[in-house]
Chains A and B, each alone.
Chain A
């Protein structure tokens, strides 16, 4: 018996060193292991309002956090049974691969490159390109921009998308703040950028509104788990479907995003029941 466990330890060490996913990690984020541990380990942003940020009392808040708390309530019966880990865009994949968190809920856009390294559940949010314009000369659809100037920020998805269209003259800026100032100064008929950003800006700047918010590829934003953890991913999917029946994404929108976006219709942004 003693010899056998020594042998098993050697095998485990070889597997660990060879860079294959460690066996121990599989057990740590299984649903049984999470329940035994008693809390979920979830990575969220701490400085990206309104998705994940820290409020004035030092508590995690935002759209992502709203979902995280509900997941904890569904799985463990208490929304406070979460250990939040601060994440940055650059380390979201690593946190999952190293087994330091169970789930990443950090405005994580699904891309083919990322999907090779982590498993995405069904989306709970989506983002596209929106155009904000002066209410005196509103842009309601892309065709309204024909023959006019459009302000974009160099290198963004909006820049890439509109560069391929003909008939629209692009005015490019490097800084977001400069681009918005240019719109105020009337240097373009509109400004194109991520829908979430233009909505938030329009809400704070009277006389401007977002006439069109679903241009280009609509990118899904989804919770992610460690590659191969299908058990937890399936549980998240089932939970999102279940939450869709009570319009949970809309509740989350009203509670967290509405103060930033104002009275906009959330259909351009939220995904209900994982139904993208």
Chain B
């Protein structure tokens, strides 16, 4: 019976619940990615400054976010802030805040790296043409940096999407948790449920991440042709 247990996928109630979980996953990931990219661009440009007043706080921020696992940040913001400061943010708000900060730190470093990787003569030539600093960034450096940025930032976006299952520890029911609820509720009557539900979730994650990858490939192709 190679397909036994597959009926769990054809129950409309199960699919509706997976759909609700999927909406939660996509909503949190999408809002976080937008904030991460916006703040990351701004912080990344600021981080090009060699001043100690910029570099010391920037490195502290970046390393703190990178070294401490996301799950610890989630616990700190959700449980720690509620206990110490009385901030009773909802799980979803906490998730968006933590993922946005994490994403912004990673994005900032990608932006900083891609701009500083541009050859120095680009800036020198622009200066020789009489462009102001702000014009150099706006018309010369950032457009080129964005192209270099695309593969890495798509990677960051999919990482944010794939980290959403951690949110279950701050009481959020996202798509993977719904899947586990469905599997466990059937543990005695449908031992194959895990295979089918995880199989469907595999497809769902693919369907979320694949369009982003396609979009990035299109943009790269379009810009490299120019």
B182: min CB distance to chain A, Å = 8
Q: Complex formed: what's the CA distance from A202 to B13 in Å?
A: 30
B200 part of interface (Cβ distance < 8 Å): no
Which of these, B79, B172, B185, B187, contacts A98 with CB under 8 Å? B79
Residues of B within 8 A of A36 (CB): none
A209 part of interface (Cβ distance < 8 Å): no
A112 part of interface (Cβ distance < 8 Å): no
Q: Complex formed: what's the CA distance from A97 to B86 in Å?
A: 12
Residues of A within 8 A of B173 (CB): 46, 86
A78 part of interface (Cβ distance < 8 Å): no
B169 part of interface (Cβ distance < 8 Å): yes
Contacting pair B184 A53 (CB below 8 A): yes
Residues of B within 8 A of A24 (CB): 86
Q: Complex formed: what's the CA distance from A48 to B185 in Å?
A: 8
Given contacts A200-B188, A204-B188, contact A86 B168 (CB under 8 A): yes
Residues of B within 8 A of A46 (CB): 173, 177, 181
Encoded as 1 (CB less than 8 Å from any B CB) or 0, chain A from 5 to 30 comes to: 00000000000110101101100000
Q: Complex formed: what's the CA distance from A54 to B185 in Å?
A: 7
Contacting pair A97 B83 (CB below 8 A): yes
Contacting pair B169 A90 (CB below 8 A): yes
Contacting pair B184 A48 (CB below 8 A): yes
Residues of A within 8 A of B13 (CB): 56-58
Chain A, interface size category, equals: 20 to 34
Identity of the chain A residue whose Cβ is nearest the Cβ of B83 in the assembled complex: A98
Contacting pair A54 B181 (CB below 8 A): yes
Contacting pair A85 B171 (CB below 8 A): yes
Contacting pair B187 A49 (CB below 8 A): yes
Contacting pair B188 A16 (CB below 8 A): no
Q: Complex formed: what's the CA distance from A97 to B13 in Å?
A: 35
Q: Complex formed: what's the CA distance from A21 to B83 in Å?
A: 7
B7 part of interface (Cβ distance < 8 Å): no
Contacting pair A47 B184 (CB below 8 A): yes
Interface size on B, residues (CB 8 A): 28
A173 part of interface (Cβ distance < 8 Å): no
**A80-123, CB < 8 A from B:** 85-88, 90-91, 94-95, 97-100
A55 part of interface (Cβ distance < 8 Å): yes
Contacting pair B86 A22 (CB below 8 A): yes
B122 part of interface (Cβ distance < 8 Å): no
Contacting pair B169 A91 (CB below 8 A): yes
Which of these, A17, A57, A87, contacts B171 with CB under 8 Å? A87
B88 part of interface (Cβ distance < 8 Å): yes
Encoded as 1 (CB less than 8 Å from any A CB) or 0, chain B from 18 to 39 comes to: 0000000000000000000000
Q: Complex formed: what's the CA distance from A97 to B80 in Å?
A: 9
Identity of the chain A residue whose Cβ is nearest the Cβ of B188 in the assembled complex: A204
Q: List 11 additional A-B contacts (Cβ < 8 Å) besides A21-B83, A46-B177, A99-B82.
A: A47-B183, A55-B185, A56-B185, A86-B177, A87-B171, A94-B79, A99-B83, A99-B88, A203-B188, A204-B188, A260-B188
B residues with CB within 8 A of A:
11, 13-14, 17, 75, 78-80, 82-86, 88, 168-173, 177, 180-181, 183-185, 187-188
A–B pairs, 26, beta carbons within 8 Å: A16-B84, A19-B84, A22-B83, A25-B86, A46-B177, A47-B180, A49-B187, A53-B184, A53-B185, A54-B185, A55-B185, A56-B185, A58-B13, A86-B168, A86-B173, A88-B168, A91-B170, A94-B79, A95-B171, A97-B83, A98-B83, A99-B82, A100-B79, A100-B82, A100-B88, A200-B188
A residues with CB within 8 A of B:
16-17, 19, 21-22, 24-25, 46-49, 53-58, 85-88, 90-91, 94-95, 97-100, 200, 203-204, 260
